[in-house]
Structure 1
Amino acid sequence: MSVFRKVLYSTDFSPLAEHALNFVKDLKSAGAEEVILVHVVDSRTTALPEGVNLIEKKTELAFELPENEARQLLKLVEMAREVKKNLEKDGFKVSLVLISASDVVDAVVKVAEEEKVDVIVVGAHGKGLLAELILGSVSLGIIRKARCPVLLVRKKN
C-alpha cells in the first residue's frame, strides 16, 4: 500500500510548477494513483467573486468578466485540462480544482483537507523576505498550515 496514494498538485502554470509536475509523476512509481490539480486565482486582483469554481462557471463568467480577464480565464481552464490529459496518459485519476480566493494558502490547504490528500506537491519560487527567499510565501504558508506532508520542489540552479 502506498503512503502517497492521493496527491494534491498546486500549480500556477509557471516553469517551476511544470518542474514540480515531474515530481508528481515520479510518485506514480511509489504507488500514487490520484492527483488533485489545484490552481487558485487571487480574487483580490480580478473581477472574480470569492470562492467561485472556475471550471463550472467558466462560460457564465466569460460573458460577465472584462474581455482580457475572460480570455485569461479560458486560457487557465485550457492549461489545466492539458495537464490533466498529460497526467491521465501516465495512468493517474485526475480531478481539477480551479477556484478564486483571496488567500491562496488557505484555499490550497482547504482543498487538501476536503480531499483527504496524502501529500501536497508545490514549487518554491523564493520571492519574499528572508525565510520566504528560500521557499516562497505561498509554499511557506502551505508548510505552516497543512496537516499532511508537503513536498517542495525548488528550481535547479
Structure 2
Amino acid sequence: MIRLDRILVPVDFSECSTSAQKYGVALAERFGAEIHLIHVLQDLVALSPEPGLTFPPPGEYLQELKESADRSLARLPSADDGNATEQPIVREVIHGTPFLEIIRYAKTHDIDLIVLGTHGRGGLAHALLGSVAEKVVRKAGCPVLTIRPEGHQFVMP
C-alpha cells in the first residue's frame, strides 16, 4: 500500500506552482499527509565585465527578498485559489540553487513525494535555462509528480 506522510511542493509563485499546489493539497488531504511548501531564493550574482569576478547583491536586498517570500508563502495554500486545507503545513524559504535545495530538503526531511510544477519550456529556452523539474526528477531520492498548468487535470475544480 502506498503511504504518504510528507509531501513537498516547491513554490515559485507562478501559475505552474499554483497547479502543483492543487495536486499537493489534494494528495495530502487524501493520505492525511503533512505538506511542505518551500521557496528557493536563487543565488543572485551580478557578473562583472572582467571574467572571473563576481559581486553578490547587497545583504539588505537579499533580506528584503526573503521577507517578501516569507510573507507570500505564509498566505499559501489559499482558499482564493481553491487550495485551502486542514492538513499540517511546514513553510520555509531557502537560499541556493533551486534543484539542489529541493533535493536536499526532500532528503533531510524524509519527504515521500515531491509535487512540482513545470513550465513546459522546450527548444532554446530549455537548452539555455535548463529545467529545475527535469533535474529534480533525475536526482531526487523519492517519487516526483510533475504538473503542467495546461492540459488534462485530475483535480476537481
- TM-score normalised to the size of structure 1? 0.74
**Which position in structure 2 is the counterpart of 1:152?**
146
What RMSD, in angstroms, separates the aligned Cα atoms of the two structures? Answer: 3.0
Q: 1:20 Cα deviation (Å)?
A: 1.0
Q: 1:2 Cα deviation (Å)?
A: 5.4
User: Relative to 1, partners in 2 of residues 1:151 and 1:94: Cα closer, same or farther, differing over 3 Å?
Assistant: same
Equivalent residue letter for 2:99: V
**Which position in structure 2 is the counterpart of 1:95?**
90
User: Relative to 1, partners in 2 of residues 1:88 and 1:25: Cα closer, same or farther, differing over 3 Å?
Assistant: closer
Percent identical? 23
Q: Deviations along 1:109-141, whole A, 9 cap, x unmatched?
A: 0000000010001101123547x48xx600000
User: Relative to 1, partners in 2 of residues 1:29 and 1:84: Cα closer, same or farther, differing over 3 Å?
Assistant: closer
Q: Deviations along 1:52-106, whole A, 9 cap, x unmatched?
A: xxxxxxxxx9xx414xx554432211111111576995111111121111x2111
User: Relative to 1, partners in 2 of residues 1:89 and 1:23: Cα closer, same or farther, differing over 3 Å?
Assistant: closer
Alignment of 1:8-157 (within 5 A): 8-45=8-45, 47=56, 64-66=59-61, 70-83=63-76, 90-101=85-96, 103-129=97-123, 132=126, 137-157=131-151
Report the structure, 1 or 2, having the larger helix content.
1
SS in 1 for 2:101: helix
Equivalent residue letter for 1:83: L
Higher mean Cα deviation, 142-151 or 31-40?
A: 31-40
Kindly tell me the number of residue pairs found equivalent between the two proteins: 138
- TM-score normalised to the size of structure 2? 0.74
Question: For the residues of structure 2 that align with 1:97 and 1:89, how far apart are their CA atoms?
Answer: 18
Question: For the residues of structure 2 that align with 1:127 and 1:88, how far apart are their CA atoms?
Answer: 25
Gaps of 5+ in 1: 49-60
**Which position in structure 1 is the counterpart of 2:53?**
none
Q: 1:38 Cα deviation (Å)?
A: 1.1
Question: For the residues of structure 2 that align with 1:149 and 1:95, how far apart are their CA atoms?
Answer: 19
